[in-house]
Amino acid sequence: MARSAREPALVFHNGTAVLPEKLLPDAVVICEGGRIKRVGHLRTLPRDATLVDAKGGYITPGFVDIHVHGGDGADFMDGTADAVRTACRAHARHGTTTIFPTTTTGSPEQLCAMLQACLEVQRSRNPADGARIAGVHFYGPYFAPDKVGCHSQAGRRDPDAREYRRHFATGIIRIATCAAELPGAEKFYREARKRGCLITCGHSNATWLEMARAFRAGMRHVDHFWCAMSSVASLRQRYGTPMQASMEQFVLAHEAMSTEVIADGCHLSPELLDFAYRQLGPHRLCLVTDANRALDMPPGRYRFGCVADGEWIESDGRVGFVPGGGALASSVVGLDAMVRNMKAMTSASLPEVIRMASLTPAERARIAGEVGSLVPGKRADVLVLNQRLRLKQVFLGGVESSSATD
C-alpha cells in the first residue's frame, strides 16, 4: 500500500508569540503532524508550508477550561452526545481547545448519562467536534445545603461511596469537587486522590479547620473564588463568635492551593480580580468560564443543568442570574472575553493572563505535558488574536477549527 503524501508544515508568522514568561515578537511557530515543532525566529519560512499570517497580532496556546457547564443552547447534563458536541463547538469558537465538561446537581441516572455522553465524544474524537475533552469535572451533586446557588436543590446530596465509586470507575473524571464540611467528604477526597484527580472544594461553607482536614485528604483547589463559598461573615452566622477563618483565608495562606475566577466583568469587580492576581499570582490562579447553555444565545430564560428539569435561570446577554432574586447564575461568555477583561481590569501582564487561561489550568489538571503552552512536542492547539485580543483563528491539533465569534 502506498504511503500517503506528507502533509505540509503549518507555520504561524508575522505575530508575537505569547510564551508563559514573556512575549516573543516577530515569532514563527512551526507545527507538523499535529504537534508544535519549533518556536523562534526564522529569516526564511519553510517551503511548501501552509502559512497563517497573524497580521501583527498574537499567537497563543489554546485555552483550557476546567469549569464549564454548556453553551449554544446545550448543557453537558443534557446527557447526549449531540449536546456535548454542541457545547464543545461553542467553546472552541471562543478559543477553548481543551475542555472539562462539568456536572451539576442531578439524579444518579442523569450523572451517568452525562459521563457516558462525554466518553462517547471523547472516544470518537473528530476535529469537527470542537474543544477536545480531557476529562470530566465531577462538580455536583455534593454541595453544602446552604451553598447550592442556582443549582437544583433537589439533586443535592451528601457523598455516597457506592455512587461516586461507580462514576470514578468510568475513568473519565479528572477533577472532583465536594464541599469539605459534608459527612464523607474526606473519603471522597481520598478516593479521588487514588484516581489522580485535581481535588477541589466548592459550593461550601467550610471553616479553616474543615479545609485543613480536606487538605490532608488531598484537596488542593477551590472553585470560583468568592462565589458560593464561605466567608468570615457566613461562618459567624453558623458558629457565632469568635469569628472563624474561611475558605478565602485558607487558600491565600497555603501556597499549595489554587483557585479560579470568573472574569466576565459581572461576577467580580476589577478590584477583586486584581486582588486575586496580586495575592495568588499566575501560577495559582486560573481563568474559567463556568458558562451555561445561554452562551452564544439571545437573552432569555434557560434551564441550568438537564433540559428536562434543571433550574430556570435568565440571561441578559452579559451574565446569567436567578429569576426574581437577582443572584448570579454562572456566565454566558467565553474564555476569550475572560482574557480581555483580565488584561484590561488587572495589573497582570499579557503572558500572565494567557497563562491563567492555558498553562496554569493544564498544570493543575495534570495535562501540561500535552497542552497549555507553545512548546515543541505539545499539541498544535494554537490561537491567533489581533492586537485588541479579539480571537481570529482557532487550530486544534494543527487543524483549523473555526473562526472567531467576534
pLDDT of residue 405: 58
C-alpha cell at 53: 499570517
pLDDT of residue 326: 77
Q: Calculate the CA 2 to chain-centre distance.
A: 43
pLDDT of residue 65: 99
pTM of this prediction exceeds 0.85: yes
Lowest mean pLDDT among 45-54, 258-267, 282-291, 394-403: 394-403
pLDDT of residue 4: 46
List Cα–Cα distances, 117 to 76, 292, 301, 351, 373, in angstroms.
8, 17, 25, 35, 29
> What integer best gives the mean pLDDT of the chain?
96
Considering only the C-alpha atoms of the chain, give the largest distance between any 2 of them, rounded to a whole number of Å. Answer: 78
List Cα–Cα distances, 274 to 158, 342, 345, 347, 353, in angstroms.
35, 8, 7, 6, 11
Residue that is written with C-alpha cell 453544602 in the block: 144
Q: What is the pLDDT of residues 356-372, one digit of tens each?
A: 999 999 999 999 999 99
Domains, the chain: 10-60+376-403 (2.30.40.10), 62-364 (3.20.20.140)
pLDDT of residue 403: 52
pLDDT of residue 125: 85
pLDDT of residue 386 exceeding 70:
yes
Q: 177 has which bridge partners?
A: 200
Q: CB under 8 Å to 301, separation ≥6 — which residues?
A: 312, 313, 314, 315, 323
Q: 161 with 191: CB under 8 angstroms?
A: yes
pLDDT of residue 396 exceeding 90:
yes
Residue 127's pLDDT band, with cuts at 50, 70 and 90, is confident
Residue that is written with C-alpha cell 467576534 in the block: 406
pLDDT of residue 1: 35
Q: 77 with 390: CB under 8 angstroms?
A: no
List Cα–Cα distances, 383 to 90, 95, 256, 289, 361, in angstroms.
15, 7, 30, 18, 17
pLDDT of residue 27 exceeding 90:
yes
| HSE-CB for 48 with a 13 A CA cutoff | 5
157-162, long-range: CB within 8 Å, 24+ apart, which pairs?
A: 157/105, 158/182, 158/183, 158/184, 159/183, 159/184, 159/185, 159/187, 159/188, 160/184, 161/187, 161/188, 161/191
pLDDT of residue 3: 39
Q: 97 with 396: CB under 8 angstroms?
A: yes
Residue 166, Cβ density class (10 Å: 0-12 exposed, 13-18 middle, ≥19 buried): middle
Mean pLDDT within 237-247: 94
Q: What is the pLDDT of residues 158-174, one digit of tens each?
A: 999 999 999 999 999 99
Q: What is the pLDDT of residues 283-334, one digit of tens each?
A: 999 999 999 999 999 999 999 999 999 999 999 999 999 998 779 999 999 9
Q: 37 with 378: CB under 8 angstroms?
A: no
pLDDT of residue 406: 57
Residue that is written with C-alpha cell 505540509 in the block: 8
Beta strands in 54-152 (DSSP E): 58-61, 63-68, 70-71, 74-75, 96-101, 132-133, 136-138
